[in-house]
Structure 1
Protein backbone atom coordinates (compact mmCIF):
# COMPACT_ATOMS: atom_id res chain seq x y z
CA UNK A 1 0.00 0.00 0.00
CA UNK A 2 2.85 2.41 0.70
CA UNK A 3 3.99 2.28 -2.93
CA UNK A 4 0.52 3.22 -4.15
CA UNK A 5 0.30 6.04 -1.62
CA UNK A 6 3.63 7.38 -2.83
CA UNK A 7 2.41 7.26 -6.42
CA UNK A 8 -0.75 9.17 -5.52
CA UNK A 9 1.29 11.77 -3.66
CA UNK A 10 3.76 12.14 -6.51
CA UNK A 11 0.97 12.41 -9.08
CA UNK A 12 -0.93 15.02 -7.13
CA UNK A 13 2.23 17.01 -6.46
CA UNK A 14 3.17 16.93 -10.15
CA UNK A 15 -0.34 17.96 -11.16
CA UNK A 16 -0.34 20.88 -8.71
CA UNK A 17 3.08 22.05 -9.87
CA UNK A 18 1.89 21.98 -13.46
CA UNK A 19 -1.25 23.88 -12.54
CA UNK A 20 0.79 26.57 -10.76
CA UNK A 21 3.11 26.81 -13.76
CA UNK A 22 0.13 27.31 -16.08
CA UNK A 23 -1.40 29.95 -13.82
CA UNK A 24 1.90 31.86 -13.54
CA UNK A 25 2.57 31.78 -17.29
CA UNK A 26 -1.02 32.72 -18.13
CA UNK A 27 -0.82 35.66 -15.73
CA UNK A 28 2.41 36.83 -17.33
CA UNK A 29 0.89 36.57 -20.80
CA UNK A 30 -2.25 38.42 -19.72
CA UNK A 31 -0.24 41.25 -18.21
CA UNK A 32 2.08 41.63 -21.21
CA UNK A 33 1.78 44.82 -23.19
CA UNK A 34 0.28 44.67 -26.67
CA UNK A 35 2.16 47.70 -28.00
CA UNK A 36 5.01 47.41 -30.46
CA UNK A 37 7.83 45.34 -28.95
CA UNK A 38 10.04 47.49 -26.76
CA UNK A 39 13.70 46.81 -26.27
CA UNK A 40 14.81 46.56 -22.67
CA UNK A 41 18.27 45.14 -22.11
CA UNK A 42 18.16 43.50 -25.54
CA UNK A 43 14.92 41.60 -24.92
CA UNK A 44 11.54 42.29 -26.40
CA UNK A 45 8.07 41.70 -25.03
CA UNK A 46 7.56 39.27 -27.90
CA UNK A 47 10.41 37.11 -26.63
CA UNK A 48 8.98 37.17 -23.10
CA UNK A 49 5.54 36.25 -24.42
CA UNK A 50 7.01 33.37 -26.43
CA UNK A 51 8.83 32.07 -23.36
CA UNK A 52 5.62 32.30 -21.35
CA UNK A 53 3.74 30.40 -24.06
CA UNK A 54 6.35 27.63 -23.81
CA UNK A 55 6.00 27.66 -20.00
CA UNK A 56 2.22 27.45 -20.41
CA UNK A 57 2.50 24.37 -22.63
CA UNK A 58 5.06 22.73 -20.34
CA UNK A 59 2.76 23.32 -17.38
CA UNK A 60 -0.09 21.73 -19.31
CA UNK A 61 1.99 18.65 -20.05
CA UNK A 62 3.17 18.49 -16.44
CA UNK A 63 -0.42 18.58 -15.15
CA UNK A 64 -1.47 15.90 -17.67
CA UNK A 65 1.39 13.65 -16.58
CA UNK A 66 0.46 14.09 -12.93
CA UNK A 67 -3.14 13.16 -13.70
CA UNK A 68 -1.99 10.05 -15.58
CA UNK A 69 0.16 9.00 -12.61
CA UNK A 70 -2.82 9.35 -10.27
CA UNK A 71 -5.03 7.39 -12.68
CA UNK A 72 -2.45 4.61 -13.02
CA UNK A 73 -1.94 4.42 -9.25
CA UNK A 74 -5.71 4.16 -8.84
CA UNK A 75 -5.88 1.32 -11.38
CA UNK A 76 -2.99 -0.52 -9.72
CA UNK A 77 -4.61 -0.18 -6.32
CA UNK A 78 -7.90 -1.45 -7.74
CA UNK A 79 -6.12 -4.45 -9.24
CA UNK A 80 -4.36 -5.19 -5.94
CA UNK A 81 -7.65 -5.04 -4.06
CA UNK A 82 -9.29 -7.39 -6.60
CA UNK A 83 -6.40 -9.87 -6.24
CA UNK A 84 -6.56 -9.86 -2.44
CA UNK A 85 -10.36 -10.08 -2.23
Structure 2
Protein backbone atom coordinates (compact mmCIF):
# COMPACT_ATOMS: atom_id res chain seq x y z
CA UNK A 1 0.00 0.00 0.00
CA UNK A 2 1.42 3.35 -1.04
CA UNK A 3 0.64 6.29 1.20
CA UNK A 4 0.76 9.68 -0.45
CA UNK A 5 2.18 12.59 1.50
CA UNK A 6 0.28 15.16 -0.52
CA UNK A 7 -1.93 16.29 2.38
CA UNK A 8 1.07 16.60 4.65
CA UNK A 9 2.98 18.46 1.96
CA UNK A 10 0.09 20.83 1.35
CA UNK A 11 -0.23 21.53 5.07
CA UNK A 12 3.47 22.17 5.50
CA UNK A 13 3.49 24.42 2.45
CA UNK A 14 0.60 26.44 3.88
CA UNK A 15 2.40 26.79 7.21
CA UNK A 16 5.57 27.99 5.48
CA UNK A 17 3.67 30.44 3.27
CA UNK A 18 1.82 31.81 6.26
CA UNK A 19 5.07 32.22 8.17
CA UNK A 20 6.65 34.12 5.27
CA UNK A 21 3.60 36.38 5.07
CA UNK A 22 3.77 37.06 8.82
CA UNK A 23 7.49 37.81 8.61
CA UNK A 24 7.00 40.26 5.74
CA UNK A 25 4.06 41.98 7.44
CA UNK A 26 6.00 42.29 10.70
CA UNK A 27 8.92 43.82 8.83
CA UNK A 28 6.59 46.30 7.11
CA UNK A 29 4.98 47.23 10.43
CA UNK A 30 8.36 47.73 12.09
CA UNK A 31 9.53 49.86 9.16
CA UNK A 32 6.45 52.06 9.42
CA UNK A 33 6.86 52.49 13.18
CA UNK A 34 10.57 53.40 13.00
CA UNK A 35 10.21 56.01 10.27
CA UNK A 36 7.21 57.84 11.74
CA UNK A 37 7.81 61.01 13.69
CA UNK A 38 5.81 62.04 16.74
CA UNK A 39 3.14 64.71 16.15
CA UNK A 40 4.49 68.25 16.31
CA UNK A 41 8.07 67.31 15.45
CA UNK A 42 7.48 67.32 11.69
CA UNK A 43 7.75 71.11 11.56
CA UNK A 44 11.05 71.03 13.43
CA UNK A 45 12.87 68.37 11.41
CA UNK A 46 12.45 67.48 7.75
CA UNK A 47 11.78 63.83 7.05
CA UNK A 48 14.95 61.90 6.29
CA UNK A 49 13.14 59.25 4.24
CA UNK A 50 12.97 60.01 0.50
CA UNK A 51 9.49 60.61 -0.88
CA UNK A 52 9.79 57.68 -3.30
CA UNK A 53 10.52 55.31 -0.41
CA UNK A 54 7.58 56.66 1.62
CA UNK A 55 5.18 56.09 -1.26
CA UNK A 56 6.52 52.55 -1.80
CA UNK A 57 6.03 51.61 1.86
CA UNK A 58 2.79 49.66 2.48
CA UNK A 59 0.12 51.25 4.66
CA UNK A 60 -0.02 50.14 8.27
CA UNK A 61 -3.57 48.81 7.85
CA UNK A 62 -2.50 46.70 4.86
CA UNK A 63 0.38 45.27 6.87
CA UNK A 64 -1.90 44.43 9.80
CA UNK A 65 -4.34 42.68 7.48
CA UNK A 66 -1.46 40.70 5.92
CA UNK A 67 -0.28 39.76 9.40
CA UNK A 68 -3.70 38.37 10.27
CA UNK A 69 -4.00 36.57 6.92
CA UNK A 70 -0.61 34.94 7.49
CA UNK A 71 -1.65 33.84 10.97
CA UNK A 72 -4.86 32.26 9.70
CA UNK A 73 -3.02 30.65 6.78
CA UNK A 74 -0.49 29.03 9.13
CA UNK A 75 -3.27 27.85 11.44
CA UNK A 76 -5.14 26.31 8.52
CA UNK A 77 -1.98 24.53 7.37
CA UNK A 78 -1.46 23.18 10.89
CA UNK A 79 -5.02 21.89 10.91
CA UNK A 80 -4.44 20.14 7.56
CA UNK A 81 -1.30 18.47 8.93
CA UNK A 82 -3.16 17.43 12.08
CA UNK A 83 -6.03 15.95 10.08
CA UNK A 84 -3.67 14.13 7.71
CA UNK A 85 -1.87 12.69 10.72
CA UNK A 86 -5.15 11.46 12.21
CA UNK A 87 -6.24 9.90 8.91
CA UNK A 88 -2.87 8.21 8.47
CA UNK A 89 -3.09 6.83 12.02
CA UNK A 90 -6.56 5.48 11.32
CA UNK A 91 -5.39 3.85 8.08
CA UNK A 92 -2.47 2.20 9.81
CA UNK A 93 -4.68 0.97 12.66
CA UNK A 94 -7.20 -0.40 10.16
CA UNK A 95 -4.51 -2.09 8.11
CA UNK A 96 -2.85 -3.74 11.14
Does structure 1 residue 72 correspond to structure 2 residue 74? no
Larger relative contact order (C-alpha < 8 A, sep ≥ 6)? Answer: 2
**Greater share of residues in helix:** 1
**Superposition CA RMSD, Å:** 2.0
Q: Which stretches of structure 1, 4 residues or more, deviate above 6 A after TM superposition?
A: none
Q: What is aligned with 2:70?
A: 59
Paired positions, count: 78
Separation in 1 of the partners of 2:65 and 2:16? 18
- Give, in angstroms, the shift of residue 21 of structure 1: 0.1
Separation in 2 of the partners of 1:34 and 1:69? 40
